[in-house]
């Protein structure tokens, strides 16, 4: 039977201490990752607590169904019975945001998914295609105010749409289009190539393969990317401010007349937040709660679609 030498024993002890040190480093790394996660969670909880506590008692059904008022007492539920007119709310801006995001979704669906299908399935692999894809990826990081200036120059002035609902929707479409294209490309790229080849083997054409094989598999990723991008767009203020969105509307915009004036919830919240009366901060907080609720609903829809149509589910 062989016996361990002193050198072998020392080597074993050295390796054991190295393993312990690596385990300790692993625990430290895990703690740092957990702390980084908790920073975002704590910040979100603090934000929600601050906003909800400010809005408590001011968010009522009347707030959701009446037009805004310049008199802060009209928003206080304690004064509803003594008002010569109706209470104040943000109904026109809620409808304006819904109309705005609906038009944006229509434009984004056709332009974003169409561009992704062309770049991923039809475009040749050459320098021009790589140049276009690189620029689309770079455009995803451009500040939103730049898209607002672009919308002002192209849609409002060059196309003479004016400060209209269609101009706001097209500007927000430009804002989120690069993100949607990139996300849609990734979803199309994730479809196994064997499914394409199997479809071609049965005699299907390129379009039939895309329509019947590729798109059904890519729908969860595409729709998730679109809805999350729309969630970003609905909270943007700078782009629609540049194209002339109204800070206050007393009647909702008309979806049948997209060339008319429009407003959105971020604009109304911004207007309330800068007013000098202290109680308007409660009104602005109530508007933020409504906007956050709509954002959470949109994100919930994205999660539902992803889980429902995920083939792995």
Tell me which range, 115-119, 193-197, 254-258, is most confidently predicted by mean pLDDT.
115-119
21-48 average pLDDT score: 90
270-295 average pLDDT score: 89
Q: What is the mean pLDDT of the chain?
A: 86
The angle subtended at Cα 92 by Cα 86 and Cα 97, nearest 5°, is: 155
Domain range summary for the chain, segments of one domain joined by +: 90-309
**Residue 42 above 90 pLDDT?**
yes
Residue given tokens 């959105």 in the structure block: 264
Question: 275: which DSSP letter?
Answer: S
Helices (H) and strands (E) in the chain, counts: 12, 0
**Residue 183 above 60 pLDDT?**
yes
Which of 3.40.50.10490, 3.30.70.890, 1.10.3720.10, 3.30.1360.80 would CATH assign to domain 90-309? 1.10.3720.10
Q: Which residues contact 42 (CB under 8 A, 6 or more apart)?
A: none
Q: Cα separation of 242 and 297, whole Å?
A: 27
103-131 average pLDDT score: 91
Q: Over the stretch 58-102, which tens digit does the pLDDT of each residue have?
A: 888 989 988 898 888 888 888 777 777 778 889 999 998 989 998
Q: Cα separation of 299 and 223, whole Å?
A: 11
Q: Over the stretch 226-272, which tens digit does the pLDDT of each residue have?
A: 888 888 888 888 898 888 888 778 888 877 788 888 888 998 998 89
């Amino acid at each position: 039977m062989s016996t361990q030498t002193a050198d072998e024993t020392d080597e074993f002890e050295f390796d054991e201490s190295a393993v312990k040190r690596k385990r300790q480093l692993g625990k430290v790394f895990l703690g740092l990752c957990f702390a980084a996660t908790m920073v975002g969670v704590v910040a979100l909880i603090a934000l929600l607590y601050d906003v909800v506590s400010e809005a408590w008692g001011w968010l009522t059904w009347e707030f959701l169904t009446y037009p805004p008022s310049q008199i802060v007492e009209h928003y206080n539920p304690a004064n509803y019975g003594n008002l010569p007119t109706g209470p104040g709310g943000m109904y026109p801006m809620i409808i304006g945001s819904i109309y705005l995001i609906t038009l944006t979704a229509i434009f984004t669906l056709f332009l974003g998914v169409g561009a992704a299908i062309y770049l991923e399935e039809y475009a040749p692999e050459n320098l021009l295609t790589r140049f276009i894809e690189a620029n689309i990826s770079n455009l995803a990081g451009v500040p939103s105010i730049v898209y607002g200036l672009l919308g002002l120059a192209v849609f409002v002035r060059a196309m003479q749409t004016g400060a209209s609902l269609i101009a706001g929707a097209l500007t927000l479409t430009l804002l989120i289009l690069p993100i949607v294209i990139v996300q849609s490309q990734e979803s199309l790229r994730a479809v196994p190539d064997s499914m394409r080849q199997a479809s071609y083997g049965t005699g299907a054409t390129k379009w039939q393969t895309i329509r019947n094989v590729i798109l059904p598999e890519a729908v969860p990723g595409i729709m998730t990317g679109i809805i999350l991008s729309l969630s970003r767009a609905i909270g943007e203020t700078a782009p629609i401010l540049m194209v002339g969105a109204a800070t206050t509307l007393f009647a909702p915009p008309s979806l049948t007349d997209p060339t008319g004036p429009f407003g959105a919830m971020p604009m109304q919240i911004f207007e309330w937040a800068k007013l000098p009366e202290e109680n308007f901060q409660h009104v602005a907080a109530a508007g933020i709660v409504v906007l956050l609720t709509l954002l959470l609903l949109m994100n919930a829809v994205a999660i539902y679609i992803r889980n429902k149509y995920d083939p792995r589910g």
